[in-house]
Amino acid sequence: MHMGQGPGIREFNRLYKELDDLYHNLALRQGLSDSASIILYALYLLGDGCLQRDICDLSYISKQTINSSIRRLEQDGYLYLQPGRGRDMHICLTPEGRRLVEEKAAPVAAMEERAFSGMPQEDQQALLRLTHAYLARLRAEAGRIL
């Protein structure tokens, strides 16, 4: 049985996909996989030496995907792993990795900042407030089916 969706949620989902496609196309144009782009972006935001779990917490991709992408970036000479406490591994950038983060991730973060700060303050606050409200309601509904 297919009940369909109303026009509001269809438009919201279309916009969500368009946003996802925008980031995917940015990564492709930069010669990166989506996961490599996310890791470089996370390293830009979190700083050199962050933990893999920090990247997992910041992103929406699985620990396994992050781990395999980190291994690939390590093989390519962009980062190395440094042991921390217990099983913790710090993700550290090589000089070439720092250059890559500045070349690829920094412009994306700056693009986001310009786009968001270019909106009127009340629109910024409304976007955040409504997104929080939708997420809370979606979590509540997900709890009913999980």
Could you tell me the mean pLDDT of each successive run of 10 residues in the chain, 146 residues long?
A: 83 96 98 96 95 90 92 97 89 98 98 98 98 97 92
User: What pLDDT does 51 receive?
Assistant: 93
CATH number (domain holding residue 38)? 1.10.10.10
Say if 90 falls within a structural domain. yes
Say if 135 falls within a structural domain. yes
Say if 3 falls within a structural domain. no
> Is 61 in contact with 88 (CB distance < 8 Å)?
no
Domain that holds residue 115: 11-145
Amino acid making up residue 137: R
User: What pLDDT does 61 receive?
Assistant: 86
* Cα(35)–Cα(25) distance, integer angstroms: 13
3-state SS, one letter per residue, for the chain = CCCCCCHHHHHHHHHHHHHHHHHHHHHHHCCCCHHHHHHHHHHHHHCCCEEHHHHHHHCCCCHHHHHHHHHHHHHCCCEEEEECCCCCEEEEECHHHHHHHHHHHHHHHHHHHHHHHCCCHHHHHHHHHHHHHHHHHHHHHHHHHC
Say if 2 falls within a structural domain. no
User: What pLDDT does 1 receive?
Assistant: 58
**Which pTM value belongs to this model?**
0.89
Say if 131 falls within a structural domain. yes
Number of domains, the chain: 1
Say if 43 falls within a structural domain. yes
